[in-house]
């Protein structure tokens, strides 16, 4: 898996002390979701397809507060990205310098796709998504709207914290991918393959990640989920903060509301401990 080599990474935890109104966060998340799909559509059109769909993932560049694609090639811009604070598409050269940009505020989807096509010399008909966007019941001609700045700041802080917690896992554990943003869900996650049967090609995976929130849990949360989903009749005790979830997915979660109850100086340690204990608990469940 080839992912961008990011020169800038978060150096410290962004304290979770003020939680955003869930309704405002939900509206901002919808617009962020729409913007991410533009980068994803381009990645799908240009990059070789991966079985796990990771070619469409975006990667968090903390120093610039932006999500960027994998490296693309020599005949196109080296990366395409979405800068969160300004809510603009950007193209980059191999040095990471911005070549061009498009502010999404007031821009229609067709205009954004035309910009991508013109900027990257990718045929417009190839800039399609292989899935619907059920979270966004907006007409295709509706313009993108700049999310409220305090919501985007909150999302940037969440991605920074997710990068701090999840980034080291790819180094510490074998068969664990570096974290990336899954465009279908906006989950920032890394995948750990824990068991493979070479003959049957069956495998077990843990998904270690950060969700920006969803319809069931509107605020961000860390999670450890399992694939395939195991029997949940007997689940081990999780020591420390966090809770089991059995629907619509199976695993453990640590909500932002819970983290906010801890002093800022201790929050990163709490999140790290949750992920490590979650790995142990989920491996126990998958082992039967």
- Interval 77-82 mean pLDDT: 86
Cβ contact 46:76 at 8 Å? yes
Mean pLDDT: which of 50-54, 62-66, 124-128 is highest? Answer: 62-66
Measure the CA–CA gap between 176 and 185, rounded to whole angstroms: 20
Q: Residue 135: what pLDDT?
A: 52
Q: Tell me the CA end-to-end span of the chain in Å, nearest whole number.
A: 30
What single DSSP character describes residue 108? B
Is 37 a residue whose pLDDT tops 70? yes
73 or 29: which leads in pLDDT: 29
Domain ranges, ordered by start, for the chain? 22-126, 167-287
Q: Residue 8: what pLDDT?
A: 39
Measure the CA–CA gap between 259 and 255, rounded to whole angstroms: 7
Cβ contact 122:46 at 8 Å? yes
Q: 182-198, pLDDT tens digit by residue?
A: 998 999 999 998 876 65
Q: Give the E-state strand segments of 93-220 in sequence order.
A: 98-103, 180-181, 188-197, 202-211
Q: Residue 52: what pLDDT?
A: 80
Residues 6+ away with beta carbon under 8 Å from 263: none
Largest CA distance in the chain: 55
Q: Residue 20: what pLDDT?
A: 87
Q: Residue 179: what pLDDT?
A: 95
Query: What's the token pair of residue 209?
Result: 């990640």
């Amino acid at each position: 898996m080839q992912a961008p080599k990011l020169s800038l990474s978060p150096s410290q935890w962004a304290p979770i002390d003020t939680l955003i109104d869930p309704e405002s966060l939900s509206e901002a998340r919808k617009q962020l979701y729409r913007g991410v799909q533009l980068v994803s559509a381009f990645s799908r059109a240009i990059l070789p397809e991966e079985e796990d769909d990771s070619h469409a993932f975006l990667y968090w560049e903390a120093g610039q507060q932006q999500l960027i694609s994998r490296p693309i090639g020599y005949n196109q811009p080296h990366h395409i990205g979405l800068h969160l604070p300004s809510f603009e598409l950007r193209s980059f050269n191999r040095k990471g310098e911005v070549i061009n940009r498009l502010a999404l505020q007031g821009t229609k989807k067709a205009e954004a796709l035309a910009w991508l096509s013109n900027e990257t010399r990718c045929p417009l008909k190839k800039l399609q998504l292989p899935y619907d966007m059920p979270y966004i019941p907006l007409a295709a001609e509706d313009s993108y709207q700049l999310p409220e700045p305090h919501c985007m700041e909150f999302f940037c802080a969440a991605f920074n914290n997710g990068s701090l917690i999840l980034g080291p896992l790819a180094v510490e554990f074998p068969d664990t991918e570096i974290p990336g943003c899954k465009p279908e869900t906006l989950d920032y996650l890394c995948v750990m393959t824990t068991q493979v049967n070479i003959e049957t090609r069956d495998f077990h995976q843990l998904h270690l990640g950060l969700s920006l929130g969803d319809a069931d849990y509107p605020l961000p949360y860390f999670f450890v989920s399992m694939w395939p989903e195991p029997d949940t009749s007997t689940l081990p005790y999780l020591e420390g903060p966090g809770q089991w979830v059995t629907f619509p997915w199976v695993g453990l979660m640590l909500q932002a509301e819970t983290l906010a109850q801890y002093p800022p100086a201790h929050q990163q340690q709490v999140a790290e401990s949750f992920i490590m204990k979650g790995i142990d608990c989920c491996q126990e469940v998958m082992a039967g």
